[in-house]
Amino acid sequence: MTKATPVMLIVLDGWGVGEKTSTNAVHMAKTPNMDYWTNHYPSTTLLAHNGAVGLPEGQMGNSEVGHLNLGAGRVVYQDFTRINRAIETGALTDNKVLNQVLAQTRADDKTLHLMGLISDGGVHSHLNHLYALVQIAANIGLTRVCIHAFMDGRDTPPQSGHGYLKELQHHLDKIGVGRIATIIGRYYAMDRDNRWDRVELAWSALVDGQGCHCRDPITAVAGAYARDENDEFIKPIVIVGNDKKPVGTIGDGDSVIFINFRADRARQMTHAFTDHDFNKFPITTRPHLASFVTCTRYEKDFALPVLRQRGISCFHRLRCNRFNPLPC
């Protein structure tokens, strides 16, 4: 009987097999060990993008997607793809629980807040999902919709956010509903390393209206660039109206939807809004929200019951101590 020998799975993040050009760092590097192994042992390659890993065509992969597919040993359709499908088929528009949240917000004459990463990077979120939600809100008759723009610059070029905000503003103008209320670099709003001082700055802008006040979002981002603050590191900006008051802080009775579908960088902000015994930083004003909605299940260990419904759970609703997935 052949004696079993150890087998190792080594993941080299950032190592890719591509065209052999002078811009390919792996190809240009001296890699004697890898060269020996591939020349003397069976080897093959795996695609790490597009449909091969459950992403839309033309979409780059990322570490989470690659690790998930390696671990499963099969194609795992990503939340990005599932949400796209829900939008295309109209399943998101027909989502009963989502419509209930929007209808209740309208009936109470309160504000819907949409917050998350504003880019088409497709790693944590996608602008098309935001546009779909704004359109659904407009169709149901909501007029008070505020966008809290978390700037990327990490999965996208460092000063691409200016263009994304202009595109966002164009869509909001076209739909006729929605306004940009805050602009915050992901360094602050999407920390995942328990640097709660960063999250506190973002929270203070979202809830208390504290930060750099500016009337025009596009001008505000240009000003941040002039201060050498690229998208990821833009310090919280609060958009104000002619009366110099914030146009859209999150307050009592409002509803919040966190549009990020990737969980790791959305958990801390979600904890700040939903944990009744939250103590990571002092909170002077805790809004009593009607609803808090997340795009996917961010954490299985929330101390909240989960009501599962049939269909693809691409939204989860936290309301009155219930955390309910919305089927789409």
Q: Which of 22, 43, 63, 313 is catalytic?
A: 63
Residues 6+ apart with CB under 8 A from 293: 98, 101, 255, 256, 257, 258, 315, 316, 317, 318, 326
Q: Which two tokens stand for residue 126?
A: 């996608």
Rounded CA gap, 213 and 195, in Å?
24
Question: What contacts 271, CB < 8 A, 6 or more positions away?
Answer: 278, 280
DSSP assignment of 199-231 equals: HHHHHHHHHH--SEEES-HHHHHHHHHHTT--G
**Largest CA-CA distance found in the chain, in angstroms, rounded:** 83
| Closest C-alpha among 254, 253, 252 to residue 285 | 252
Q: Report helix, strand and coil shares of the chain as percent, to nearest 5.
A: 35, 15, 50
Question: Which of the 8 DSSP states describes residue 109?
Answer: T
167 CB-near residues (< 8 Å, 6+ apart): 127
Structure tokens at 170: 């164009």
Instruction: Classify strands 313-319 and 291-294 as parallel, antiparallel or unpaired.
Output: antiparallel
Neighbours of 43 (CB within 10 A): 10
Q: Is 204 one of the annotated active-site residues of the chain?
A: no
Q: What are phi and psi of 316, to 5 degrees?
A: -130, 135
Active-site residues, by number, are 63
